């Protein structure tokens, strides 16, 4: 079992998310598409939560941002019941295989302008 956790203030990514290149680099298409359906305040919170989840997954994989795995290769979609569901693509999937991670789960919470995410890999 491998664990990762991340904490992020909502709004930390605001300036970066104004740049299209960053949004494409940081978020998977499924995340961008869903975020586009949300009201602005909820979208900020959603994207911050997804980014925190990606950071927690980086820790499970034993890598960091800008260390070979692009954040958009970690897609945090929604399971049928609405809970977050992680899918790895490209280099992220290869790193997971290399370190023996065959399954991943994440939990995301939002409160008082903060988001936190915990990831577990096995």
**Residue 100: φ, ψ to 5°:** 85, 15
The answer to whether 76 touches 86, Cβ cutoff 8 Å, is yes
Predicted confidence (pLDDT) at residue 80 exceeds the cutoff of 90: yes
Residue 71 CA to residue 66 CA, distance in Å, equals 9
2-31 pLDDT per residue, tens: 999 999 999 999 999 999 999 999 999 999
31-54 pLDDT per residue, tens: 999 999 999 999 999 999 999 999
pTM of the full structure: 0.95
Residue 48 CA to residue 15 CA, distance in Å, equals 12
């Amino acid at each position: 079992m491998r664990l990762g956790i991340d904490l992020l203030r909502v709004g930390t990514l605001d300036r970066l998310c104004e740049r299209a290149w960053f949004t494409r680099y940081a978020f998977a298409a499924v995340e961008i598409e869903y975020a586009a359906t949300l009201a602005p305040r909820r979208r900020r919170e959603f994207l911050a939560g997804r980014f925190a989840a990606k950071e927690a997954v980086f820790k499970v994989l034993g890598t960091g941002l800008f260390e070979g795995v692009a954040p958009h290769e970690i897609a945090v979609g929604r399971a049928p019941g609405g809970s977050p569901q992680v899918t790895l693509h490209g280099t992220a999937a290869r790193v997971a295989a290399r370190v023996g991670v065959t399954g991943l789960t994440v939990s995301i919470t939002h409160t008082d302008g903060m988001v936190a995410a915990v990831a577990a890999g096995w």
